[in-house]
Amino acid sequence: MELYKRLLEYLKPYRARFVVASIFMLFVSLTSGATAMIIQPVLDDIFLRKDQEMLILLPIGVALIYLIRGVGRYVASSQMQLIGQMAVRDIRNHLFGHIQKLSLDFFSARKTGQIISRITNDVYVIQDSVAIVVYDLIRESMTMIVLLFVVYYHNWKLATIALLVIPFSGLLIDRLGKRLRLVSGETQEAMGDLNAMLVETFTGIRVVQAFGMEKYEVAKFHKRNDTYFQKIKRTIRINELTSPLMEFIGALGIALIIWYGGSMVMEGKTSVGAFFSFIMALFMLYAPISKLARVYNKIQQALASAQRIFEIMDTSPSIRQKEGAVSMAPLASHIEFRDVCFHYGEEDQALDVIDLKVEKGQAVALVGPSGAGKTTLVNLIPRFFDVSKGAILFDGTDIRDVTIPSLREQIGIVTQDVFLFNDSIRNNIAYGQEDAPMELIERAARAAYAHDFIMKAPGGYEAIIGERGHKLSGGERQRISIARAIMKDPAVLILDEATSALDTESEIMVQKALENLMRERTTFVIAHRLSTILSSDMIVAMDGGRIVERGGHEELLGQGGLYKKLFDLQFRSAMDTVKMRKEE
Ligand SMILES: Nc1ncnc2c1ncn2[C@@H]1O[C@H](COP(=O)(O)OP(=O)(O)O)[C@@H](O)[C@H]1O
Ligand SMILES: [Mg+2]
């Protein structure tokens, strides 16, 4: 019931259209009744009484009935389908809008393909159903009512006998429908799995091919495709069983009537015409019943998908803005982590009592083995996740007390895996600032050491860079993402291993670009490069979700702890080169 109501909500805005379409539909249904009714005068007046006048009038009548029927059908059918499509368009928009608002934990808990599948396939199932349901449900119900009048008008006793079968069919329809709903949900889930696999293998196609795993992936796909096929097979079976069953039950009713009604004709209790008209109406009456059974099936399938869609719509973002949150003023003095603890979902503590104070304009280098919690720590600053305990404060104000846009506005992020949109270079740099003047974009690109290679690209700043920037080298992509961060001009900067995926040559360029970007900003830099670490104001060494050491380079080396170990492992050779260059 809940689900029905929610789906109907989407039809509400189109009430007026719906009423008009229903009126036209009523005409169509009335013509069904008229068609059944006209049988009686055709048989009785033309064939039996041989009435000349009727011989002219009745054919004209038939033509008129079908003219009205045609017009009514055209208007009703096209309008009802439009209503269905508009409602589905709204559902799709609503769903996409909602998903955009959801927090990162939603996305890490689900496969991208599964989410896509709900917006495409599940919405499609609803689309497919709604158009049919709205149209058929109204038309066939009206037709059924009109025809009921006809049969009762002719002979209420016969009508009652003929309709005895209806409760049986109703029961059957309900059982089949419920079953279908269950299977349909499973079918959609299987389709989602299929989609998830597509997204995964296509985005990772280079890995698949490099490892010669094409056959493996193909076999995996076949298996999932077959799972889907098996589910859809069950759907088809249940669906296709419905109509024949209904027809058979209807035929039983008609057999009963031929036997009982036939004897009434023989006894002269009713005219041949009236009886034929009755039988005709009855035949016509069973057709809507069978159609309604199909409609019921469609509704069940739509409900299964609606459930999957509403499940997402009912997921509220875990990162929420407080009631009455105020806009945050630009960072004036410092950022502080105060007793911050954090764990992902049900998992163990990823950050364990972090205390850290960073003055405005300072750069903090975070170092530590992988899995130490560095990325987790910086992800808390823009509230991609919220702290489990403790607080993060900007100038003494808890970041959960300010509006999310005013917080994120102040933060720029450059990560190892750069994301670029399949759009022009210009729009990628000015992402989020549609009407940015070209001079500013160019200045940002120059500061990011990107201007020169951009000018070499065909079309320059207007060049389209291909999906995820595949037409650019790693270093070029990285410099565009740095230009994007410079464009945003944030007070706080987060660099998460921004240089670790690069070759030496692009690294030098990116390094210089980063230096331009970091100038005069409060920076959290997760560094793999010695030069970045050396130029920072404070080094923080992390391990197992804790800060184990903090201080300057020489100071930490002297302590002979984690930092010294990391330094020996990762940086000593780099240090030697730096020294050698100096000596030369
Ligand atoms: N989305 C996530 N869900 C669950 N656990 C995670 C998630 N991201 C990271 N972790 C875990 O949290 C810990 C810290 O990870 P991370 O902050 O990425 O480390 P680092 O960046 O220092 O390499 C690791 O044990 C990692 O497995
Ligand atoms: Mg990391």
Reported as a single tens digit per residue, the pLDDT across 491-542 is 999 999 877 666 666 777 778 888 888 888 999 999 877 778 888 999 999 9
Q: What's the pLDDT band for 291 if we cut at 50, 70, 90?
A: confident
- Residue 441: name the closest of 491, 483, 404, 475 by CA: 483
Ligand 1: atom nearest CA of 370 is 23
All structural domains of the chain with their residue ranges: 2-313, 330-410+528-584
Other C-beta atoms lying within 10 Å of the C-beta of residue 538: 17
Q: How far is the CA of 351 from the centre of ligand 2 (A)?
A: 13
Q: What's the pLDDT band for 123 if we cut at 50, 70, 90?
A: very high
Ligand 1: atom nearest CA of 366 is 22
CA–CA dist 484, 441 (Å, integer): 9
> Is it true that 2-313 and 330-410+528-584 share their CATH fold?
no
Contacts of 241 (CB under 8 A, 6+ apart): 176
Ligand 1: atom nearest CA of 379 is 17
Q: How far is the CA of 412 from the centre of ligand 1 (A)?
A: 21
Contacts of 170 (CB under 8 A, 6+ apart): none
- Residue 386: name the closest of 357, 407, 366, 412 by CA: 407
Ligand 1: atom nearest CA of 377 is 17
Ligand 1: atom nearest CA of 368 is 22
Contacts of 236 (CB under 8 A, 6+ apart): none
Name the residue with the closest Cα to ligand 1, atom 9: 376
- Averaged pLDDT of the chain: 88
Name the residue with the closest Cα to ligand 1, atom 25: 371
- Starting at the earlier edge strand, list the strands of the sheet with 397-398: 349-359, 334-343, 389-394, 397-398
Ligand 1: atom nearest CA of 374 is 22
Q: Which ligand is nearest to the CA of 104?
A: 1
Q: Which ligand is nearest to the CA of 542?
A: 1
* The predicted structure's pLDDT at residue 339: 96
Q: How far is the CA of 556 from the centre of ligand 1 (A)?
A: 25
- What would the pLDDT profile of 421-469 be if each residue is shown by its tens digit? 888 999 999 998 888 899 999 999 998 888 998 998 888 999 988 766 6
Angle between helix 2-9 and 272-313 (nearest 10):
90
Given a cut of 90, whether residue 184 has pLDDT beyond it is: yes
Q: How far is the CA of 428 from the centre of ligand 2 (A)?
A: 24
- What would the pLDDT profile of 165-175 be if each residue is shown by its tens digit? 888 888 988 99
Q: Which residues line ligand 1 (CB under 6 A)?
A: 108, 344, 347, 350, 368, 370-376
Q: How far is the CA of 416 from the centre of ligand 1 (A)?
A: 15
Q: How far is CA 18 from the centre of its chain?
A: 28
Name the residue with the closest Cα to ligand 1, atom 16: 373
- What would the pLDDT profile of 352-391 be if each residue is shown by its tens digit? 999 999 999 999 999 999 899 999 999 999 999 999 999 9
Q: Which ligand is nearest to the CA of 498?
A: 2
Q: How far is the CA of 316 from the centre of ligand 2 (A)?
A: 27
Q: Which of 107, 111, 348, 375 to mutate to test the pocket of ligand 1 (most atoms within 8 A of CB)?
A: 375
Among 1.10.940.10, 3.40.50.720, 1.10.630.10, 1.20.1560.10, name the CATH number for the domain at 2-313: 1.20.1560.10
Name the residue with the closest Cα to ligand 1, atom 14: 373
Q: Which fold has domain 330-410+528-584?
A: Rossmann fold (3.40.50)
Q: How far is the CA of 415 from the centre of ligand 2 (A)?
A: 9
